[in-house]
A and B are shown apart, each in its own frame.
Chain A
Amino acid sequence: MFYQLFRCYGFGGKKIALSILLTLGSLLLVSCGSAPRIDSSTEIEIDKPPVDRGLRLPPRATDKEGMRLEKSASAVDQLLVQANTAIAEKTLGKASALVERAIRVAPQDPRAYFSLAQIRYRQGQQGQAKSLAQRARALVGNDTALLASIVQFQKSIR
């Protein structure tokens, strides 16, 4: 019975199964214990990898890359500052080249895409501006201030 229980919950040891049993009591037994899908005598093939129980496509925030992204942030900052200068000087081609460099340095950084969206808008490329803003928005994560600016930009170019 205990064995069936931990198999059912996918836990790795009888001790854990036991503690779960003690904490949650018999209710769990009712919901789970009676009909295990795999016969208890069957061993799981070692060769076959276990099913990925909790696998999501990891978003950037929880990715290992999160750290690396922050490290490259100052490089991206520098390029975006230079791009803003170029925009102020009305050299949009140069600004665009600088922001594209930023995208290459950090392909997951929403700021670069948003900046490029604004440049394309100034260049009269509405369609590109929309697509880029959309992409920036998809990458924005939990930066609410940036999200708000992107949303406002999207409204303004509609």
Chain B
Amino acid sequence: MPNSTKASKASTKKSRKSTRDNRSVWSPIYWFKKMAGLILRVLFRPLAFKVYVVLATVLAAYIVYLDATITSSFEGKKWQLPARVYARPLELFEGLAISANEFEQELKDLGYRQGSSTRAGSYYRQGNQVTLHSRGHTFWDGVEAPQQAQVVFNSHELTRLRELNNNALPLLRLEPMEIGAIYPNHREDRVLVNIQEVPPLLVAALLAVEDHRFYEHRGVSPSAIARAAVQNFKSGAVVQGGSTITQQLVKNYYLTRDRSLSRKITEALMSLLLEFHYEKEAILQAYLNEVYLGQAGDRGIHGFGLASQHYFNRPLSELSVDRLALLIAIVRGPTYYDPWRNSERAINRRNRVLDILVVRDLLSSQDAAWAKAQPLNLGKQSRSHYVFPAYIDLVKRQLREFYQNSDLTSNGLKIYTSFDPRIQRHAEQAIIAGLKSRDDKQLQAAMVVTEPGTGEVLAVVGGSKPRYSGFNRALDAKRSIGSVIKPMVYLAALSKPRQYTLATLVDDGPITIVTDGKEWSPRNYDRKDHGSVPLMVAMAKSYNQAVARVGDDVGVDAVAEIMEQLGLEREVNRVPSLFIGATQLTPFEVTGMYQSIAANGYRTPLKAIRAVLDSDNLPLKRFQYQLEQGVDADAVHLIQRAMVQVGRDGSARAARRILGNEFIFAGKTGTSNAQRDSWFAGFTGDVLAVVWVGHDDDSPTKYTGASGALPIWTQLIKSASRRPLSSLASDEIDYQWIDLVTGGRSEKSCYNAAELPFIKGSEPQGIISCSSL
């Protein structure tokens, strides 16, 4: 810029000098110089000159600014990509507990086409036999290639898994279902595609319809603008745009949506600059990912990759001609041609696109005729994001410990979780059905489901309407836990095998504990005293007076320590009323403690995330399987046995009638004061679940743990659990026959005798014969 100013000044001096030298009025040179002088004088009047300089500077600066804008944002990272959250991938192997129907549901959720299995993402089912062609996926431990396989089921499990040529196939991992994403504030969403991987017909069709001279123009097409202008003039309205693909990209990418002239000029300038800097392919690729193609709630659907998922629930590479044509049709106006709302308009526009393809020799007229005969073939619209808000909430919280919010909303991270859609569905149904059967519209519920061995969180339900986000009771409702605490009290006692065994008689008579001058006298739920009973019976029947006595003996500190060793991080009030659960915890915290009991005393932190990959599929973080011995495994084996008794002959025996005698589970009911809270926490061999039922305002309900939460728990276990509880006793455990009335060692043959585990050396001495009982 400074150079040009100097040059202008120099030329001004020169022109004045030359005016003096050539005075002949007849010389053309004279007139030329005179006119030039006049123009220059006008132009370079001191004021006008300044304005000119300022304008030129501003324009040049503007161009430099536009250029910088383009080069800085077009190269490198172009878009803020939300982190995507995936469910667990389904691992297929012989013996997997899943029915053919459940398996088919999984395939449908993944958008598999039914009818054949010739292409990736399709399957064919005949009775209990399914042939499928998986899509393959890049996982943190390697690439799972697409695979064709034959799967056979019986009523409850996968019995046979083979390649199509009948070769053995020990394991097949399906791709994981996407269950949500973490968006930046402006909520633009996209799935990036590479132009090499996009179906060539899509690109060809896009150019044919939107900009067929794309490879000829330099960003702006004067002939297209002229044609559009003529068309618009003829019809008296804006019916045709003269925008090239480049201009559309600039408009979408950099500019607002208004239609002013200045914006048009900026658009043209930027288009020229963009074409000056970059190859056609790069511009096209950016367009494919940038273009706005629809709206899902407050989430903008950008790019063909996501649009394919959004409209058809399957990847771009699997789209048929009619579907590709529909996407091209939508480019012109995602709202106007919205296939869900304006289906007829969308079909007409799609068919027009197909016609253009025939004219441009991109499609045979037969294929076009076939495609035109197709309906819109849209996927399910309801499959929108955040349908599992409570679980996604947990994922976000666990991520926040390691990532900034901006990492999550912009770097395209892939979050792999242990979320199990099958279990989640069963959990939601159990809660909805369980609450529906009560005539209490205010009744709320929450549930956390985990895998008992590994501590992986399988499902979370945050309230009575599981698909609505809002107060996540599973994580945030701090409620009195009631008798759900009793296993912890007895565990503290059983950790001292010289003093306490399952057979130890405990006194359930009235008791008053005095602390700091304050008296506390708990009463049993049935307002009765039950005399002396073996510890296991006191636990199974949930006697308050007995547990208070045992708790008082072992001390409130020992109980609090057990809770801590089981993984509880919150500090509890160390007062005697803790023994009957007068402390407030969230369902998630209760789950954490029960998890450690289910895992034989190994503390396994509850985790929802398995791994995080960056946008290039490189592992960023693995949340590895951790375990730590918290409480002595043998003491835990004893309390597990007592918790089994809860379901055999205790407060949860209603569940036994539904699950059957053979289906062994362990658990504990809980009811807080005035039935404000109803709990059941329990586990089988493959599912651990904690259910809470109550009112948000903490007002009393009509339900106890057994009548409120237990039926919901039982329903979940009935539909989702396939493996009864099993637990291997260590060498330090001996089983002995015990009389359940006196707690004495008896003979196997005696009535009321049960076989109970003891830590070696703690079993009662001397067998009592049946006769003396």
Contact = CB atoms under 8 A, between A and B. Distances in A.
B633 interface: yes
B3 interface: no
Contacts of A56: 729, 735, 755, 757
Interface string A29-65: 0111111111000000000110111111111100111
Interface in A57-78: 57-60, 63-65, 67-72, 74-75, 77-78
B354 interface: no
B601 to A, nearest CB: 10
A107 B95 CA distance: 13
B241 to A, nearest CB: 51
Interface string A125-136: 001100110110
B754 interface: yes
A96 B412 CA distance: 25
B93 interface: yes
A25 interface: no
Given A35-B773, A53-B755, 9 more contacts: A9-B750, A30-B771, A31-B769, A52-B649, A53-B754, A57-B664, A60-B726, A93-B622, A101-B91
Contacts of A101: 91, 141
A39 B442 CA distance: 49
Given A31-B770, A56-B755, A68-B157, A100 B624 contact: yes
Interface in B704-757: 723-730, 735, 740-741, 748-755, 757
A16 to B, nearest CB: 12
A75 B170 contact: yes
Contact of B754 (A35, A52, A132, A138): A52
A59 B751 CA distance: 25
10 contacts: A10-B750, A35-B772, A57-B729, A57-B757, A58-B727, A64-B724, A68-B157, A93-B619, A101-B141, A103-B625
Given A9-B749, A55-B644, A56-B735, A138 B724 contact: no
A139 B728 contact: yes
Contact of A49 (B625, B653, B724): B653
Contacts of B653: 49
A131 B454 contact: no
A78 B757 contact: no
Interface in A88-130: 93-94, 96-98, 100-101, 103-105, 107-108, 116, 127-128
Interface in B613-661: 619, 622, 624-629, 633, 637, 640-641, 644-645, 648-649, 653, 656, 661
Contacts of B645: 52
A128 B95 contact: no
Interface of B: 91, 93-97, 140-142, 157, 168, 170-171, 451-454, 456, 600, 602, 610-611, 619, 622, 624-629, 633, 637, 640-641, 644-645, 648-649, 653, 656, 661, 664, 685-686, 723-730, 735, 740-741, 748-755, 757, 769-773
Contact of A31 (B453, B724, B755, B771): B771
Contacts of A75: 91, 93-95, 170-171
Contacts of B451: 104, 107
A72 B91 CA distance: 11
A71 B94 CA distance: 6
A49 to B, nearest CB: 6
A139 to B, nearest CB: 6
A87 interface: no
A74 to B, nearest CB: 4
B168 A104 contact: no
B680 to A, nearest CB: 18
Contacts of A31: 769-771
Q: Is the interface of B mostly helix, strand, loop or mixed?
A: loop
B602 A135 contact: yes
Given A57-B664, A65-B726, A51 B740 contact: yes
A60 B728 contact: yes
Contacts of B637: 57
B346 to A, nearest CB: 44
Contacts, number: 171
Contacts of A51: 648-649, 740, 752-754
Contact of B91 (A9, A38, A105, A138): A105
Contact of B171 (A9, A52, A100, A105): A105
A8 B170 contact: no
A104 to B, nearest CB: 7
B651 to A, nearest CB: 13
B93 A38 contact: no
The 3 closest A-B pairs by CB, nearest first: A71-B95, A75-B93, A107-B453
Given A57-B664, A128-B626, A97 B141 contact: yes
A72 B171 CA distance: 9
A63 B602 contact: no
Contact of B629 (A8, A63, A94, A134): A134
A37 B661 CA distance: 25
A22 B626 CA distance: 59
Contacts of B773: 35, 37
Nearest to A128: B626
A10 B648 contact: no
Interface residues of A, number: 61
Nearest to B92: A75
Interface-central residue, A30, A48, A56, by most chain B CB under 10 Å: A56
A52 B648 contact: yes
A28 to B, nearest CB: 9
Q: Which among B751, B754, B757 has the greatest number of chain A C-beta atoms within 10 A?
A: B751
Contact of B96 (A64, A72, A93, A141): A72
Nearest to A11: B749
A9 B451 CA distance: 40
Given A93-B619, A131-B602, A138-B633, A7 B751 contact: yes
A70 B610 CA distance: 26
A150 interface: no
Nearest to A110: B728
Given A57-B640, A57-B725, A34 B771 contact: yes
Contact of B94 (A32, A72, A116, A132): A72
Given A51-B752, A55-B754, A57-B644, A32 B770 contact: yes
A22 B515 CA distance: 62
Nearest to B168: A74
B152 to A, nearest CB: 13
B647 to A, nearest CB: 10
A59 B729 contact: yes
B140 to A, nearest CB: 6
A59 B741 contact: no
Given A8-B770, A55-B755, A131 B749 contact: no
Contacts of A10: 749-751
A68 B97 contact: yes
Contact of B628 (A74, A97, A131): A131
Given A53-B755, A65-B723, A100 B729 contact: no
Contact of A100 (B625, B656, B728, B735): B625
Contacts of A59: 726-729
Contacts of A96: 622, 624
Contacts of A127: 628
Contacts of B729: 56-57, 59
A120 B624 CA distance: 10
Contacts of A79: 171
Contacts of B94: 71-72, 74-75
A31 to B, nearest CB: 5
Contacts of B453: 103, 107-108
Contacts of A7: 751
Interface string A8-32: 1110000000000000000000111
Contacts of A30: 771
B658 to A, nearest CB: 13
- Residue picked from A74, A79, A116, A139, most chain B C-beta under 10 Å: A74
A85 to B, nearest CB: 11
A57 B600 CA distance: 12
Given A55-B754, A138-B633, A68 B95 contact: yes
